[in-house]
């Protein structure tokens, strides 16, 4: 028989599952590096960094929990998600919704001392992910993750806003334009990242009635679009150099990382196995992490 302490521990573990910490870790990296770049290649004050990472964790964790509340019906149908706390009745729907909303409110409060724009951007991210992607697009259009992907691209803008006090109406675009490029890189990264996985999980999505691209347009079309979005993403990653936020060391690293990305994407055109799709999915995670680390290293070494 489990003791109350074990029950408390397993409940805590379930709340942790709701937040999706592994995804949060990559979201935080795409927040952290822009903070450093925006502040001219220096770390902002320690408390700013800590509050931004804490607020980012609360915002993304809260959004992920509300997503799991809303998607409890389809999560119960898909084999990848059916063991989550709600479909498994380990938490009640009100516990999940309450937790998600509480974290979301806390994120705003934690980010306010950083600056208002940072707090507003994070709350916009929660709103976009929960309302626009989860509640509206995910179940209604094949473009769901293309348009909805904008949510996951907001964290670099949160980081940029935290690293520099921007006034959108007064400051020159040079001060905030790099944030738009960082947003665009993650925006175009999302479809290859997700569609590689969606090809593997196609039957799951079909069973749940979610109109993901491989379900609606087939795998061949999905592979073509993966290559197309990969090209755009790589081109955008190079263009960051033109804004002089990063330099030639970054450019070299982005070229190597991009070439590997393209290799895995193109490989899926001739190798239709799930193993080939897994390789791109897994590399997509490493790619985004290394690309942002490359920005930081370039700035740290070459000023």
Ligand X SMILES: CC(C)=CCC/C(C)=C/CC/C(C)=C/COP(=O)(O)OP(=O)(O)O
| Binding interface with ligand HEM (CB under 6 A) | 22-23, 26-27, 30, 80, 133, 145, 148-149, 152, 186, 190, 193-194, 197, 285, 288
Cα 231 to Cα 33, 179, 262, distances in angstroms: 23, 20, 7
Residue nearest to ligand X (CB): 125
With CB under 5 to 8 Å by kind, the binding choice for 104 among ligand X, ligand HEM, none is none
With CB under 5 to 8 Å by kind, the binding choice for 61 among ligand X, ligand HEM, none is none
Closer residue to ligand X, CB minimum distance, 80 or 272: 80
**Smallest distance, Å, CB 3 to ligand HEM?**
29
Residue nearest to ligand HEM (CB): 152
Radius of gyration of the chain (CA): 20
Residue 83: CB atoms within 10 Å: 12
With CB under 5 to 8 Å by kind, the binding choice for 85 among ligand X, ligand HEM, none is none
**Smallest distance, Å, CB 298 to ligand X?**
25
Cα 35 to Cα 4, 135, 297, distances in angstroms: 43, 31, 14
Residue 303: CB atoms within 10 Å: 8
**Long-range CB contacts for residues 279-286, cutoff 8 Å, separation at least 24:** 280/192, 280/196, 280/226, 281/193, 281/196, 281/197, 281/200, 284/189, 284/192, 284/193, 284/196, 285/26, 285/193
Distance CA 250, CA 297 (A): 8
**Smallest distance, Å, CB 43 to ligand X?**
21
With CB under 5 to 8 Å by kind, the binding choice for 154 among ligand X, ligand HEM, none is ligand X
**Smallest distance, Å, CB 292 to ligand X?**
15
Among 52, 57, 81, 230, binds ligand X (CB under 6 A): 81
Among 30, 52, 57, 67, binds ligand X (CB under 6 A): 67
Distance CA 172, CA 160 (A): 15
Window 126 to 185, contacts with ligand X (CB under 6 A): 126, 129, 134, 151-152, 154-155, 158
- Cα-Cα-Cα-Cα torsion 114, 119, 120, 126, nearest 10 degrees, comes to 160
Instruction: For residue 209, give both structure tokens.
Output: 């009635």
Distance CA 238, CA 250 (A): 9
Number of residues that bind ligand X (CB under 6 A): 19
**Smallest distance, Å, CB 28 to ligand HEM?**
9
Q: Please report, as ranges, the residues that interact with ligand X according to CB under 6 A.
A: 23, 27, 59-60, 63-64, 67, 71, 81, 122, 125-126, 129, 134, 151-152, 154-155, 158
């Amino acid at each position: 028989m489990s003791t109350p302490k074990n029950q408390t521990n397993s409940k805590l573990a379930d709340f942790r599952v709701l937040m999706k910490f592994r995804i949060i870790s990559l979201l935080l990296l795409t927040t952290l590096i822009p903070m450093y770049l925006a502040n001219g290649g220096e770390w902002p004050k320690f408390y700013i960094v800590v509050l931004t990472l804490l607020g980012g964790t609360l915002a993304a964790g809260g959004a992920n929990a509300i997503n799991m509340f809303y998607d409890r019906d389809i999560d119960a149908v898909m084999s990848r998600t059916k063991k989550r706390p709600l479909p498994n009745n380990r938490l009640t729907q009100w516990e999940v919704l309450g937790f998600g909303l509480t974290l979301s409110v806390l994120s705003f409060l934690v980010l306010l001392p950083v600056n208002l724009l940072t707090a507003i951007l994070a709350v916009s991210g929660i709103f976009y992910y929960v309302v626009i992607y989860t509640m509206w697009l995910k179940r209604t259009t094949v473009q769901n993750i293309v348009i909805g992907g904008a949510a996951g691209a907001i964290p670099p803008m949160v980081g940029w806003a935290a690293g520099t006090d921007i006034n959108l109406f007064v400051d020159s675009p040079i001060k905030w334009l790099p944030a738009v490029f960082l947003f665009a890189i993650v925006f175009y990264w999302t479809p290859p990242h997700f569609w590689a996985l969606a090809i593997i999980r196609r039957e799951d999505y079909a069973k749940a009635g979610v109109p993901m691209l491989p379900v609606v347009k087939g795998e061949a079309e999905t592979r073509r679009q993966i290559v197309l979005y990969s090209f755009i993403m790589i081109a955008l990653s190079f263009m960051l150099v033109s804004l002089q936020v990063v330099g030639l060391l970054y450019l070299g690293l982005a070229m190597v990382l991009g070439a590997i990305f393209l290799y895995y994407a193109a490989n899926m055109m001739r190798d239709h196995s799930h193993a080939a799709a897994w390789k791109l999915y897994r590399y997509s995670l490493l790619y985004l992490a290394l690309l942002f680390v490359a920005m930081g290293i370039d700035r740290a070494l070459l000023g």
